[in-house]
């Protein structure tokens, strides 16, 4: 369609014309960075704001939020807490609504788990492998065999590591929560993909969910649903459904407009258009969403165990309580393996969707598939009936390999030597102390002594520069909310840690990302490492982190960097690799050196993906605030942990909200720039 | 609408009427507007905006008039080409015809039936059975086989599966994709994909086929094949077609009549010959400058009255013989040709008069009308 | 064709679900209610002593009384909710760390009842490593001497003050207020979790660094590190309420068992056994030490203790 934009040579610009012409000039290449820097009124505003911040901090030396602008949020929360406990067994909203949800969740989990148990390990391995093979195409293709093989290996390794039983518990919980998350996500995504109004309502909800630490809503859930599988399941679903919803909505909205128009032009009504064209066209994105949802579900395994989910999460948590790194790591590896299993299986199924577009249709193949799935169902039934009789219900003891002690020894040796045993340079502990004193303490003091109004001004100006007045407003409102809840000082402490963590994450992430993009071998080595880092429950590496740097804020930051860096590395490397090959060729032909190419072409052109990486970094670092609270990060994270472990809504909940506020603020301050690049 | 133009078109296609028993035009468009932007409907109503150029209008109102006060008729069985550069509003115009884009103002009739006033159901009926469209980017569904793509329109109509697949298979054969019915679009070349698009549009047996730059995305050679395919289909079925293109040679090849659009307005409407021989203004003249005139213009336009004995000698040619053919004859025989219609001598052409056409000097002989800038549909009278 | 394939998968799915429902239909409703059936659910807090309790009780119940036992990981606050709702039947070791909930469920709602003392005596206090106390023996005389040495305890976290390693959030504590009220030059820096605190102490101990920490007994790590207590002002009943005015140390705590009321009054052998369950700090430390110190499997550790201490546990088995 060539409707509204006519005049200029805009056809050359592949980006769909933005509705705001004001944005266009910003994209123009600068003649001289410095000249533009100084000539821009926004920059001037930033300088002024920064000046105000510094001067006012020096003059007043006190950043406390005025007492008169606060409210007592604890009392009403206490009341709510009491009300919930008193009425949990009697109020209609529990009896007729929440209880049903809770019972359904429990029943689904129990049913699945007892099915898995009654099939015994042999049945699970056989059926699981077959399902993976069938998902991969149910034939002798490499993909089908590989998927099936992966499943087989995962199950056998989980058994051999002596975590079969908890693995089955976790698998049952995961399957139920993945199904529920995917369903809920698909429905929400459908609503917001089809209706603009829904999109408007749901988008801020998803945005909030994305930066909301799961810890923050564990507590209300426990109060509503009590501890146990239902709470864990619901927490997981809340956490994991948004990506599915987002991507479904995106897929629906990005569906090939010509195909949709073709459907309309053939007289399809809206229902027909949705069912026959739009949804099928969105299936690739939906598959991607499912994949992400699975990963998110698995990252909740350990947290879910805090509120009674059992399974591998409990194993990890319990092992850590006794400082058994080896046991924790083994259980963590099982979680990673489950992730691999589910990821590969759905990815294979997704690839097959792709194939559908390029292979011919064959009736025989379809019938074969039907037969395979029927066979799997039959086999499941057979195993369920006689599995335990044939194979016994526990993994045989002599098929177990115990690595845990050697892992312990290795990790201890490693941490001891890195911690303080490095000649000349001291060790990580000394470095951590230096980091705390040189970076963290001044940063925190600075933030805490800056008057709140100066900080609000700075946030507003940054928001205005990178985005719109709306971003500025959101940022300021978030700050105000934190102050209003009497959490200003604590939040500034957290903010200082988040900022430091963010800078480290981005520096490390971009450096390694550049390496990955430029050196093939580094990329090959890093890929499995990154995969593992992203799926390994964060809890597993908390204890080694303490051994390395001690229980303090630096430890928390280190954990956050470990957690957040993989995503940043990935996005950066991808951005660099996808730089327009023509531009690279041009610079080659001009005889640019590798460095010149990197700094002159690749980095500038990949600027947008680096901005996206920054935004991701913000979200991920923030999501580690609570976890960091577990190992000495203190501040808001600790308050949330305390609220949860004391079962105290009035302590944990405001802190959780404050984290969300910080998250939304930082997200808004980093997102608009990223968003524009996605267009 | 000019009597002459209508007469010419109708005359050329008397044999081609299959669908329209009605004598009236297949599509009749009057004063059609499509304005994008805030409070769009004030633009057509207010005459003062009519004076403004596109950029002035945007500056003044924030609106863009993609289609500006366009009127024309599409005759039964003709190939009506709308041509213009990108941004001229032609794609918007064709979408307005079945209200894929809702027109801002104006009237629109399909075989005498008002389209603007149609309710949702009637409009769907119109789209399902009477007009179907072929798209530039094909708009195929990647997850369906070729046959199922072709059957898609029938599926939407609610036709039973076996029946629609059978019908679709016929169409697949008709567009020359025999044996590829169970492939997926992703396995086909661009040209093949567009054949699927064409088959899909044909499958519902519409009165009118709408083409939106269907071959722009194809390689030149394949484009030529596809154009021939369309010509063949038109010859076989005589279906009314509205064809959007930005490619002048394509327009000249396919069009019985061409409407040339610029900035949302129809600058000139006429047969290819009229447009090439008699450009309405500098814009059109610029456009057709490189067209090999002898291959478009007929001897009717090149002839001069016979002088003396000329009326008796020379090969006889029909008045719609192309100049290029006449040149060949003249060069072969070495003498002039007589232009004869129904045994009546209209005039003669010789070296000089033919060369004048080739050299493009003839247009100076034409008293040029000052082209009205507002560009309402401008008719070019036949000489 | 896609629709067809989807329906294929759908059919398979329905089949699977059908099988599922058939084979396990009855399992679902019995399990959901927790305490109702013959399975005993133990609430097992995250520290090793609790693991030791649970492991021994589980092993004995299963081997001697043939009762199925499930130990569920949960800390005290959560455990009380679970006892209230019947999702758990018993917590074997409660440190009185959640007085609010205890009051609500035991005294007001009467859904949770005491199961008697565990026998283990819990003691909380402030501790320094022995190697430090040997050099500065005055510190063992009174907490007041802490201010003389606070500089030794400075870290990058505590700035100009001494670093006090606080307890994990779920533990009973009023150290922050105590430091303030006693005018000590220390900064209270809480631990995020017990594991974190243990690891930190281990690290500092191995490096022979001075530290001052919240510490308690029984605690399996006492076998590995040698800490000595800094005396605090004596505990008197209610002296720590409200915490903001606390100026005293901690109560010596008879650790207590709590049970779900229905379970406790249900007259089952398991309930009776749990009421009888009573062992010493030494016993518990022995098992905990095997689990945490020697990295034995809890089940094996329990089996070993059971083998060696028949006379102790025989008394717990209810007579017919």
B263 contacts in chain A (CB < 8 Å): 6
End-of-domain residue from the set A343, A358, A373: A358
- How is chain B split into domains, by residue range? 3-263, 297-365
Which residue matches tokens 């005596």?
A: C121
Alpha helices in A9-61 (DSSP H): 24-27, 33-39, 41-60
What is the average pLDDT across A507-526? 84
ipTM above 0.85, yes or no: no
Of A339, A240, A257, the closest CA to residue A296 belongs to A240
Interface test with C, best of A114, A322, A358, A649 (most C CBs within 10 A): A322
The answer to whether residue A351 scores a pLDDT higher than 80 is no
Query: How many residues are present in chain C?
Result: 320
Please check whether residues A209 and A289 belong to one and the same domain.
Answer: yes
**A28 inside domain:** no
**A38 inside domain:** no
Tens-place pLDDT, residues A183-240: 999 999 888 888 888 888 888 788 777 777 777 777 788 777 777 788 888 888 888 8
Q: Is residue A307 within 8 angstroms of chain C, CB to CB?
A: yes
Residue pair A582/A522 in contact (Cβ under 8 Å)? The answer is: no
Cβ contact, residue pair A267, B140, below 8 Å: no
User: What is the interface size between A and C, counted as CB pairs within 8 Å?
Assistant: 208
Considering only CB atoms, B135 lies closest to which of A7, A262, A280, namely A262
Residue A69 DSSP label: G
Cβ contact, residue pair C77, A648, below 8 Å: yes
Cβ contact, residue pair A114, C22, below 8 Å: no
Give, to the nearest 10 degrees, the angle between helix A542-549 and helix A325-356: 130
What topology is assigned to B3-263 in CATH? Rossmann fold (3.40.50)
Cβ contact, residue pair C2, B143, below 8 Å: yes
**A54 inside domain:** yes
Say what the pLDDT of residue A119 is: 78
Please check whether residues A578 and A509 belong to one and the same domain.
Answer: yes
Cβ contact, residue pair A646, C77, below 8 Å: yes
Tens-place pLDDT, residues B41-82: 888 887 777 778 888 888 888 888 889 889 999 999 999 999
A268 contacts in chain B (CB < 8 Å): 156
Residue pair A539/A421 in contact (Cβ under 8 Å)? The answer is: no
**A556 inside domain:** yes
For residue B350, the SS3 value is: coil
- CA closest to B145 among chain C residues: C1
Residue B304 DSSP label: B
Residue pair A248/A183 in contact (Cβ under 8 Å)? The answer is: no
What is the average pLDDT across A495-505? 88
Q: Is residue C77 within 8 angstroms of chain A, CB to CB?
A: yes
Domains assigned to chain C: 34-121+253-314 (3.40.190.10), 122-245 (3.40.190.100)
Query: Residue A387: which pLDDT band, with cuts at 50, 70 and 90?
Result: low
How far away is chain A from the Cα of C145, in angstroms, using its nearest Cα? 26
Against chain B, the chains showing at least 3 CB pairs within 8 Å are: A, C
Of C124, C115, C127, the closest CA to residue C210 belongs to C127
Tens-place pLDDT, residues A626-641: 778 877 777 888 888 8
C47 contacts in chain A (CB < 8 Å): 321
- CA closest to B151 among chain A residues: A266
**A97 inside domain:** no
Please check whether residues A342 and A447 belong to one and the same domain.
Answer: no
Degrees, nearest 5: CA angle A14-A16-A18: 130
B86 contacts in chain A (CB < 8 Å): 2, 11
Please check whether residues A308 and A197 belong to one and the same domain.
Answer: yes
- CA closest to B143 among chain C residues: C2
Against chain C, the chains showing at least 3 CB pairs within 8 Å are: A, B
B101 contacts in chain A (CB < 8 Å): 3
Residue pair B217/B245 in contact (Cβ under 8 Å)? The answer is: no
Query: How many residues are present in chain B?
Result: 383
Chain C, 249-288: which have a CB under 8 Å from a chain A CB? Answer: none
Please check whether residues A346 and A425 belong to one and the same domain.
Answer: no
How far away is chain A from the Cα of B63, in angstroms, using its nearest Cα? 9
The answer to whether residue A435 scores a pLDDT higher than 50 is yes
CA atoms of A365 and A343, how far apart (whole Å): 24
Say what the pLDDT of residue A359 is: 58
Residue pair A564/A624 in contact (Cβ under 8 Å)? The answer is: yes
Cβ contact, residue pair C2, B145, below 8 Å: no
Say what the pLDDT of residue B243 is: 93
What is the average pLDDT across C62-70? 86
Q: Is residue C87 within 8 angstroms of chain A, CB to CB?
A: yes
Most confident region among A224-228, A445-449, C188-192 by mean pLDDT: C188-192
Find residue B72's DSSP bridge partners: B29
For residue B206, the SS3 value is: coil
A632 contacts in chain C (CB < 8 Å): 157, 189, 191-192, 196, 200
Domain that holds residue A572: 45-59+73-77+419-678
Say what the pLDDT of residue A39 is: 60
Q: Is the dihedral of CA C32, C33, C38, C40 positive or negative?
A: positive
Say what the pLDDT of residue B365 is: 42
B152 contacts in chain A (CB < 8 Å): 263, 266, 276
A388 contacts in chain C (CB < 8 Å): none
Q: Is residue A263 within 8 angstroms of chain B, CB to CB?
A: yes
Query: Residue B244: which pLDDT band, with cuts at 50, 70 and 90?
Result: very high
What is the average pLDDT across B353-365? 72
**A541 inside domain:** yes
Considering only CB atoms, A323 lies closest to which of C12, C85, C198, namely C198
C2 contacts in chain B (CB < 8 Å): 143-144
Considering only CB atoms, A261 lies closest to which of B64, B126, B135, namely B135
C1 contacts in chain B (CB < 8 Å): 144-145, 148
Phi, psi at B82, each rounded to 5°: -110, 120
A432 contacts in chain C (CB < 8 Å): 156
Say what the pLDDT of residue B210 is: 92
Average pLDDT of the residues of chain A: 77
Q: Is residue B28 within 8 angstroms of chain C, CB to CB?
A: no
Q: Is residue A112 within 8 angstroms of chain C, CB to CB?
A: yes
Higher pLDDT pick, A72 / B63? B63
How far away is chain B from the Cα of A274, in angstroms, using its nearest Cα? 12
Cβ contact, residue pair A111, C21, below 8 Å: yes
Higher pLDDT pick, B368 / A521? A521
Say what the pLDDT of residue A158 is: 83
Please check whether residues A279 and A351 belong to one and the same domain.
Answer: yes
Query: What DSSP line would sit under chain C, residue for residue?
Result: -HHHHHHHHHHHHHHHHHHHHHHHHHHHHHHHTGGGSS-EEEEE-SSHHHHHHHHHHHHHHHHHS---EEEEE--HHHHHHHHHHTS--EEEEE-S--HHHHIIIIIII--EEEEEEEEEEEEEEEEEEHHHHHH-GGGGT-GGGHHHHGGGG--TTTTTSEEEE---TTS---HHHHHHHTT-SEEEE--SSHHHHHHHHHHHHHTT---EEEEEES-GGGGTS-EEEEP-SPP-TTTTSSGGG--S----EEEEEEEEHHHHTTT-HHHHHHHH----HHHHHHHHIIIIIS---HHHHHHHHHHH-HHHHHTTSPP-
Which residues, in sequence order, are CB contacts of C30 under 8 Å at separation 6+?
C36, C37
Q: Is residue A6 within 8 angstroms of chain B, CB to CB?
A: yes
End-of-domain residue from the set A358, A375, A399: A358
State the pTM of this model: 0.76
* Percentage, residues of chain A above pLDDT 70: 85
Of B100, B283, B57, the closest CA to residue A265 belongs to B100
Please check whether residues A296 and A439 belong to one and the same domain.
Answer: no
Say what the pLDDT of residue B81 is: 93
Which whole-number Å values give the CA distances from C228 to C55, C140, C212, C259, in the listed order? 29, 8, 10, 35
End-of-domain residue from the set A305, A326, A358: A358
CATH of domain B297-365: 3.90.1280.20
Residue pair A45/A461 in contact (Cβ under 8 Å)? The answer is: yes
The answer to whether residue C283 scores a pLDDT higher than 50 is yes
Chain C, 134-163: which have a CB under 8 Å from a chain A CB? Answer: 155-157, 159
Q: Is residue C310 within 8 angstroms of chain B, CB to CB?
A: no
Query: How many residues are present in chain A?
Result: 679
Domain count, chain A: 2
Query: Residue A356: which pLDDT band, with cuts at 50, 70 and 90?
Result: low
Chain B, 142-161: which have a CB under 8 Å from a chain C CB? Answer: 143-145, 148
Please check whether residues A315 and A453 belong to one and the same domain.
Answer: no
Residue A64 DSSP label: P
Chain C, 19-48: which have a CB under 8 Å from a chain A CB? Answer: 19-25, 27-29, 31-32, 46-48
Which residues, in sequence order, are CB contacts of A182 under 8 Å at separation 6+?
A241, A244, A289, A290, A293
What tokens does C31 get? Answer: 């399990």
Considering only CB atoms, B184 lies closest to which of A2, A280, A359, namely A359
Q: Is the dihedral of CA B57, B62, B65, B69 positive or negative?
A: negative
How far away is chain A from the Cα of C139, in angstroms, using its nearest Cα? 24
* Percentage, residues of chain A above pLDDT 90: 1
Residue pair C52/C301 in contact (Cβ under 8 Å)? The answer is: yes
Of B255, C215, B161, C46, the closest CA to residue A641 belongs to C46
Cis (ω within 30 of 0) for the bond into A73?
no
**A229 inside domain:** yes
Degrees, nearest 5: CA angle B87-B89-B91: 100
How far away is chain A from the Cα of B301, in angstroms, using its nearest Cα? 36
**A159 inside domain:** no
Cβ contact, residue pair A318, C197, below 8 Å: no
What tokens does C269 get? Answer: 């052998």
Tens-place pLDDT, residues A76-114: 777 777 777 777 667 766 667 777 778 888 888 888 888
The answer to whether residue C200 scores a pLDDT higher than 50 is yes
What is the average pLDDT across B160-169? 89
Of A389, A213, A246, A218, the closest CA to residue A309 belongs to A218
């Amino acid at each position: 369609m060539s409707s509204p934009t006519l005049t200029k040579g805009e056809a050359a610009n592949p980006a769909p014309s933005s509705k705001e012409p004001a944005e266009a000039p910003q994209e123009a290449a600068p003649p001289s960075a410095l000249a533009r820097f100084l000539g821009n009124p926004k920059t001037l505003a930033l300088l002024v704001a920064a000046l105000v911040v510094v001067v006012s901090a020096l003059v007043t030396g006190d950043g406390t939020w005025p007492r008169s602008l606060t409210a007592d949020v604890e009392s009403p929360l206490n009341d709510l807490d009491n009300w919930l406990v008193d009425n949990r067994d009697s109020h209609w909203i529990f009896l007729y609504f929440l209880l049903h949800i809770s019972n359904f969740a429990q029943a689904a989990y129990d049913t699945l788990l007892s099915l898995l148990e009654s099939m015994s390990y042999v049945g699970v391995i056989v059926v699981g492998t077959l399902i993976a093979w069938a998902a991969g195409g149910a034939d002798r293709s490499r993909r089908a065999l590989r998927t099936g093989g992966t499943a087989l290996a995962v199950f056998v390794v989980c058994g051999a590591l002596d975590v079969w039983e908890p693995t089955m518990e976790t698998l049952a919980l995961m399957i139920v929560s993945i199904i529920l998350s995917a369903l809920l996500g698909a429905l929400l995504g459908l609503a917001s993909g089809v209706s603009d109004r829904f999109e408007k309502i749901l988008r801020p909800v998803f945005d909030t969910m994305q930066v909301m630490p799961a810890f923050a809503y564990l507590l209300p859930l426990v109060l509503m649903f009590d501890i146990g599988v239902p709470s864990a399941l619901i927490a997981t679903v809340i956490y994991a459904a948004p990506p599915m919803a987002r991507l479904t909505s995106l897929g629906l909205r990005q569906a090939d407009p010509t195909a949709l128009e073709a459907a309309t032009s053939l007289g399809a009504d809206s229902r027909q258009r949705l069912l026959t064209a739009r949804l099928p066209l969105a299936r690739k994105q939906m598959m991607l969403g499912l994949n992400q949802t699975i990963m998110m579900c698995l990252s909740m395994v350990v947290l879910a165990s805090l509120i009674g989910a059992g399974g591998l999460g409990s194993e990890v948590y319990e092992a850590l309580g006794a400082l058994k790194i080896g046991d924790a790591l083994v259980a963590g590896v099982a979680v990673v393996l489950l992730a691999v299993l589910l990821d590969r299986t759905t990815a294979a199924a997704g690839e097959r969707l792709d194939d559908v577009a390029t292979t011919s249709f064959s009736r025989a193949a379809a019938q074969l598939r039907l037969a395979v799935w029927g066979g799997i169902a039959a086999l499941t039934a057979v195993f369920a009936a006689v599995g335990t009789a044939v194979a016994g219900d526990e993994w045989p003891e002599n098929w177990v390999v115990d690595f845990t002690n050697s892992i312990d020894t290795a990790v201890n040796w490693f941490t001891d030597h890195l911690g303080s045993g490095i000649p000349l340079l001291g060790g990580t502990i000394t470095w951590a102390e230096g980091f705390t004193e040189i970076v963290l303490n001044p940063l925190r003091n600075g933030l805490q002594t800056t008057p709140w109004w100066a900080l609000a001004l700075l946030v507003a100006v940054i928001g205005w520069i990178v985005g719109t007045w709306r971003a500025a407003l959101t940022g300021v409102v978030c700050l105000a909310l934190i102050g209003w809840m009497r959490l200003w000082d604590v939040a500034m402490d957290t903010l200082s840690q988040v900022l430091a963590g963010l800078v480290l994450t981005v520096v490390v992430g971009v450096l390694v990302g550049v390496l990955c993009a430029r050196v093939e071998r580094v990329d090959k080595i890093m890929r499995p490492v990154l995969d593992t880092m992203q799926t390994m429950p964060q809890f597993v590496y908390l204890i080694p982190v303490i051994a390395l740097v001690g229980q303090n804020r630096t430890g928390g930051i280190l954990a956050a960097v470990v957690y957040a860096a993989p995503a940043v590395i990935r996005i950066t490397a991808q951005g660099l690799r996808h730089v327009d090959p023509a531009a690279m060729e041009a610079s080659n032909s001009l005889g640019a050196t590798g460095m010149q190419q990197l700094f002159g072409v690749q980095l500038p052109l990949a600027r947008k993906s680096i901005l996206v990486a920054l935004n991701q970094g913000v979200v991920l670092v923030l999501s580690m605030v609570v976890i960091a609270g577990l190992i000495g990060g203190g501040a808001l994270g600790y308050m949330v942990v305390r609220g949860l472990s004391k079962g105290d809504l009035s302590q944990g909940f405001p802190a959780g909200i404050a984290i969300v506020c910080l998250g939304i603020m930082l997200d808004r301050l980093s997102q608009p720039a990223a968003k524009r690049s996605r267009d | 609408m000019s009597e002459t133009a209508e007469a010419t078109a109708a005359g050329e296609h008397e044999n081609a009427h299959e669908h329209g028993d009605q004598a009236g035009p297949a599509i009749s468009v009057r004063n059609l507007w499509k304005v994008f932007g805030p409070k769009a409907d004030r633009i057509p109503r207010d005459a003062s905006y009519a004076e403004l150029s596109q950029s002035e209008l945007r500056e003044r109102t924030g609106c863009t008039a993609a289609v500006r006060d366009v009127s024309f008729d599409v005759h039964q069985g003709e190939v009506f080409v709308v041509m213009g550069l990108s941004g001229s509003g032609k794609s918007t115009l064709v979408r307005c015809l079945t209200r894929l884009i809702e027109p801002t103002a104006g009237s629109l009739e399909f075989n005498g039936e008002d389209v603007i006033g149609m309710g949702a159901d009637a409009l769907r009926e119109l789209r399902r059975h009477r007009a179907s469209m072929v798209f530039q980017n094909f708009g195929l569904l990647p997850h369906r086989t070729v046959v199922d793509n072709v059957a898609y329109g029938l599926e939407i109509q609610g036709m039973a599966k076996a029946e629609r697949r059978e019908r679709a298979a016929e169409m697949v054969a008709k567009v020359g994709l025999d044996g590829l019915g169970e492939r997926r679009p992703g396995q086909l070349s661009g040209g093949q994909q567009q054949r699927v698009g064409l088959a899909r549009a044909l499958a519902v047996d519409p009165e009118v086929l709408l083409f939106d730059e269907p071959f722009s995305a194809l390689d030149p050679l394949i484009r030529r094949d596809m154009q021939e395919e369309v010509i063949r289909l038109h010859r076989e079925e005589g279906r009314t077609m509205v064809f959007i293109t930005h490619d002048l040679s394509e327009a000249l090849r396919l069009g019985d009549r061409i409407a040339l659009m610029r900035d949302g307005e129809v600058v000139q409407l006429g047969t290819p010959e009229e447009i090439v021989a008699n450009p309405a203004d500098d814009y059109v003249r610029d456009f057709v400058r490189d067209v090999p005139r002898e291959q478009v213009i007929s001897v009717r336009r090149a002839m001069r009255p016979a002088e003396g004995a000329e009326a008796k000698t020379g090969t006889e040619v029909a008045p719609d013989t192309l100049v290029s053919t006449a040149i060949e004859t003249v060069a072969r025989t070495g003498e002039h040709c007589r232009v004869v219609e129904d045994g009546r001598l209209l005039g003669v052409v010789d070296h000089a008069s033919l060369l004048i056409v080739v050299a493009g000097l003839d247009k100076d002989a034409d008293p040029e009308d000052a082209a009205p800038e507002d560009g309402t549909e401008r008719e070019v009278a036949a000489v | 064709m896609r629709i067809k394939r989807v329906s294929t998968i759908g059919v398979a799915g329905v089949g699977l679900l059908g099988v599922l429902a058939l084979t396990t239909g009855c399992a679902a409703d019995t399990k959901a209610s927790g305490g109702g059936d013959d399975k005993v659910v133990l609430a097992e807090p995250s520290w090793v002593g609790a693991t030791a309790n649970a492991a021994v009780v589980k092993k004995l119940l299963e081997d001697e009384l043939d009762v199925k036992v499930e130990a569920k990981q949960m800390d005290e606050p959560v455990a009380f909710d679970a006892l209230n709702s019947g999702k758990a039947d018993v917590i074997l070791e409660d440190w009185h760390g959640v007085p609010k909930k205890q009051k609500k469920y035991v005294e007001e709602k009467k859904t949770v009842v005491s199961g008697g003392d565990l026998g283990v005596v819990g003691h909380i206090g402030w501790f320094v490593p022995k190697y430090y106390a040997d050099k500065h023996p005055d510190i063992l005389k009174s907490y007041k001497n802490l201010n003389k040495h606070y500089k030794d305890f400075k870290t990058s976290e505590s700035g100009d003050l001494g670093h006090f390693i606080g307890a994990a959030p779920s533990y009973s504590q009023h150290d922050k207020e105590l430091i303030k009220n006693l005018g000590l030059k220390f900064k209270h820096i809480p631990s995020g979790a017990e594991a974190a605190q243990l690891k930190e102490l281990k690290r500092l101990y191995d490096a022979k660094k001075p530290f001052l920490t919240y510490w308690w007994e029984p605690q399996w790590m006492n076998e590995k590190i040698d800490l000595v207590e800094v005396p605090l002002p004596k505990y008197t009943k209610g002296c720590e309420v409200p915490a903001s005015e606390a100026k005293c140390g901690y109560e010596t705590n008879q650790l207590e068992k709590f049970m779900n009321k229905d379970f406790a009054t249900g007259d089952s052998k398991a309930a009776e056994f749990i009421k009888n369950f009573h062992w010493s700090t030494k016993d518990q430390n022995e098992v905990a030490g095997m689990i945490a110190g020697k990295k034995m499997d809890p089940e094996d550790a329990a089996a070993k203790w059971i083998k060696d201490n028949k006379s102790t546990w025989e008394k717990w088995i209810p007579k017919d």
